[in-house]
Amino acid sequence: MKITFLGHTSCVPDVGADTSCLLVNDRVLFDTGWAPVLRLRELGIDPLTIAGVVFSHMHQDHYLGLVQLMFICGLQGKPGSASRTPTIAGPGEHLGEVVEACGNYLQFARFPECAIEPELRPLSDGDVLELAGLRIEAHAVHHVSGRHGVEPALGYRVKEVATGAEFAFSGDTHPFPPVAEFARGVPLLIHDGAHTPPEDGAAVAREANVGRLVLTHSPEARREDVLARARPVFPLTDAATQFMTIEL
Ligand SMILES: [Zn+2]
Ligand SMILES: [Zn+2]
């Protein structure tokens, strides 16, 4: 299983670093960041080969790029092809309205030849999604933001069915010890290192007995601080960088 960070920084892209977006096996995105079509192109990957997108939650920095992906699928995907019906999954509370808004923004009613029909898969705690050879378990996490309070947010445990390779992704979460339960024993945990203090993310990795930890959602400028705080707690910690690729 191959995992590539198409983005990892905080809410707004830096020069050379996009926001939250993981690419798994060149086929499935977890969140889109701001510009996934451009990021895929930078890696020489055809965006039409993306089978689906799995959102951790519906905050803008995690879904802004969906509209790009939907547009290129409609513009260049052949009618009747899989690229016209990508799976779009995520917490059910706001998934449908965001996808519908993207279709409205793209004027699907006025340009029906560019309209796509995504397969919506609203998820909640305990659900399992099978997608492109991956078995994806959804687990509730705890994400609080600004005046909107608690945001429905999911973390995932992901298994490549053919090989049994696994990783876990916390999505955006404040310190939430149950992440250690769904991440238990995975070779790789990708954990929020911004809403959760790095040392607390590291404590989750230690409790879950994972192979290695990659902290994400922090700008490059915070990298040294993140590592200095996390590594005393869990030495096998890294901080995500743009296009970091991990093979499991
Ligand atoms: Zn968020
Ligand atoms: Zn976020």
DSSP 144: E
Q: Nearest ligand, CA of residue 152?
A: 1
Q: State the pLDDT at residue 146.
A: 74
Residue 109 CA to ligand 1 centre (angstroms): 30
Q: Which residue shows structure tokens 């991990």?
A: 246
Residue 43 lies in domain? 2-240
Q: State the pLDDT at residue 147.
A: 77
Does some domain include residue 245? no
Residue 219 CA to ligand 2 centre (angstroms): 12
- Cα 71 to Cα 225: distance, rounded to the nearest angstrom: 39
Report the half-sphere exposure of 182 (CA within 13 A, side-chain side).
26
Q: State the pLDDT at residue 225.
A: 97
Q: State the pLDDT at residue 25.
A: 98
Does some domain include residue 184? yes
Checking phi first, is residue 107 left (phi over 0); if not, alpha (psi -120 to 50) or beta?
left
Residue 79 CA to ligand 2 centre (angstroms): 34
Q: Decide if 61 contacts 11 (C-beta within 8 A).
A: yes
Over residues 146-183, the pLDDT tens digits come to 777 899 999 999 999 999 999 999 999 999 999 999 99
Q: Is the pTM above the cut of 0.95? A: yes
Query: Hey, what are 201's tokens?
Result: 């993310």
Residue 54 CA to ligand 2 centre (angstroms): 14
DSSP 3-state assignment of 77?
Answer: coil
pLDDT grade, residue 214 (50/70/90)?
very high
Q: Nearest ligand, CA of residue 12?
A: 2
Q: What is the mean pLDDT of the chain?
A: 97
Does some domain include residue 199? yes
Does some domain include residue 141? yes
Query: Quick one: average pLDDT of 109-123?
Result: 97
Over residues 25-73, the pLDDT tens digits come to 999 999 999 999 999 999 999 999 999 999 999 999 999 999 999 999 9
Does some domain include residue 134? yes
Q: What is the domain count for the chain?
A: 1
CATH number, domain with residue 128: 3.60.15.10
- Cα 97 to Cα 240: distance, rounded to the nearest angstrom: 30
Q: Nearest ligand, CA of residue 143?
A: 1
pLDDT grade, residue 110 (50/70/90)?
very high
Q: Decide if 242 contacts 21 (C-beta within 8 A).
A: no
Residue 196 CA to ligand 2 centre (angstroms): 11
The pLDDT of residue 145 is above 90: no
Does some domain include residue 248? no
Q: Decide if 84 contacts 75 (C-beta within 8 A).
A: no
Residue 80 CA to ligand 2 centre (angstroms): 34
Residue 143 CA to ligand 1 centre (angstroms): 7
Does some domain include residue 246? no
Does some domain include residue 58? yes
